[in-house]
Each structure stands twice: as C-alpha cells, then as structure tokens.
Amino acid sequence: MKQVYQWPNIANAIVFANIRNGLNGFQFSYDIPADEIQVVVQAYSSANAATYDDFIWDKYRWGEALAVRDPQTNQPATRNIWFGTTVGHTTLTPGRQPAERNHPFFDDISIEGLQRRRVLFLA
C-alpha cells in the first residue's frame, strides 16, 4: 500500500494527522502489515521549512518569516516544532512497533514519530 501527500503550505499542519490516520487505517482496519505500507510526503514551498533542523530555524529566523509560533513560548519559533517526538525512546524496541494498538507510538504525529513508521519526507 502506498500513499503520497503533497504539502505546500506550512500553515496546513493537518497533514500530520491525515498521515497518521492513513497509517492506522491501513494497519488496523485493513490488517495490512506495517512493513507493506509506504507513505511519502512531498513538502514544497513554505512547508519545506518543516524539514529543516533547529539550527536553520534559529539562524534564519523561520518562525518570524513564516509566522510560526512556538507553543511552549508563544514567541516566533526558533526551533522546528514539527520534528521532535514526545514519545519516549525507552519505551520502544528499535525496528519494532509496539504490540499494543493503544501505545502512544501510533498517535505520534511528529516528523520523527512518523519516520519511525517508515514515512519518507522529501523537500
């Protein structure tokens, strides 16, 4: 099973929930094994900035340029707010998905969390 998402506008971050829903739907509703699902996200235009690391966000002041506010500080973002996961690495076995469907792993909509599920982000 393959899916491709176009993501041209950084202000439309709903794409992350859509990707998660697609992955979970294939895996849990249609019983497609996780290793048979491939999702590709083509970021372009302003959404390219979501694929850049924190150094670039800080140096080039992307938060100011793109009107992105950091939810932790309510200031223009100086870090990539879409990249980092909040799901602890210690709860996961590298290369294996959790057995429990209700594990936070399956709700993680960060870029890092989606990459753990083999989602490929292109810029």
Instruction: Report the SS3 class of residue 6.
Output: strand
Asked whether the predicted pLDDT for residue 40 surpasses 90, the reply is yes
Mean pLDDT of 5-26: 95
Q: What residue segments make up the domains of the chain, in order of their start?
A: 2-122
109-122 per-position pLDDT tens digit? 999 999 999 999 99
**Integer CA distances (angstroms), 110 to 15, 20, 29, 100, in order:** 11, 10, 22, 20
> Residue 97: is it exposed, middle or buried by C-beta count within 10 angstroms (0-12/13-18/19+)?
middle
- For residue 3 the two structure tokens come to 């899916």
pLDDT at 102: 92
45-100 per-position pLDDT tens digit? 999 999 999 999 999 999 999 999 999 999 999 999 999 998 876 667 777 888 88
